[in-house]
Amino acid sequence: MISHICRAASRWIFFAALVYAPWAYGATTSTSIQITNWILLAALVLWAVELLVSRRTPRFPQLLFFLVVASVCVGGWMVFNAKSIYDPDFFVFVPLRNFASPLAGSIDYTISAAWIVRGTLLLGTILFVVDLSQSNRWLLRLWYVIGLVAGSIAFLGLLQKATGAQMIFWQPPPPPQFGVSTFFATYYYHGNAGAFLNLAWPLSAGLVIRAFSKRPHPAMRAVWISLFILTIAGVLANTSRMAQLVAVVLLLAI
């Protein structure tokens, strides 16, 4: 019973991260990064508890697990053996006493320490998603969440374009030196928004194909067709030419 609750809770919490991160400025601000980190940590902790209680071995390729552990070890060593820390007040790197000076180490302890926390959570999330995807039901739910979030982000971007918004969420435009005039939807940089939509719209296309092959309720078919069209329109409306090129290549591949 406890393992079932922890398994379901970890997966729904992870879905919450999938919804939160794109809407919180693409998880690019310091606050949104920290909140995303905490959400992912909660999901991973509950997943670990579920594995311990049920005595279940997670299902993912051994090579993937090795690469994740190796990446974390390399990053951890760079932090542990950091050679300096950056002082933003005086614009200098202050030397640190490290463990092994002749060996490689980070040149900025603060940035590397923040990266290893974030990177470990993201790499652990990869293992979590691979294990989650072994269940057809949860894999389909994962596709649903990604498709819905991508469609909502694309809809916001199209609405902003149609209304001539000068800033995200129709906020007052910032000074020109901040360089956020190329925003799209919740993303400060349109290229990031295009990359996100390009990752998501093939899944929306798959849900459209499934809607016609499985013959579900007509309302569901209309929902996924609408979301697919919105997502594609969002990519086309995005001023990032690279995102549009990638979308064409993906379309040809599909």
**DSSP letters along 43-54, please?**
HHHHHHHHHHHH
pLDDT of residue 178: 60
SS3 (DSSP) at 148: helix
pLDDT of residue 193: 92
CA atoms of 141 and 187, how far apart (whole Å): 25
CA atoms of 27 and 21, how far apart (whole Å): 5
**Cβ atoms within 10 Å, residue 50:** 22
CA atoms of 33 and 78, how far apart (whole Å): 22
Question: In sequence order, what are the residues at sequence separation of 6 or more whose Cβ sits closer than 8 angstroms to the Cβ of residue 77?
Answer: 104, 105
pLDDT of residue 100: 83
Question: In sequence order, what are the residues at sequence separation of 6 or more whose Cβ sits closer than 8 angstroms to the Cβ of residue 157?
Answer: 184, 185, 193, 234, 237, 238
pLDDT of residue 24: 95
- Its pTM stands at 0.89
pLDDT of residue 179: 59
Residue whose entry in the numeric block shows the structure tokens 């820390």: 85
pLDDT of residue 108: 93
pLDDT of residue 249: 87
Q: Tell me, what DSSP letter sits at residue 189?
A: S
> Phi-psi category of 60—alpha, beta or left, where left has phi over 0 and alpha has psi -120 to 50?
beta
CB 161, CB 134: distance < 8 Å: no
Which tokens in the block code for residue 178?
């901040």
Averaged pLDDT, groups of 10, the chain, 254 residues long: 90 97 93 96 96 90 95 94 88 86 90 94 96 94 96 95 90 71 88 91 91 80 92 86 84 83
Residue type, 251: L
Consecutive H or E run containing 151? helix 136-163
pLDDT of residue 177: 56
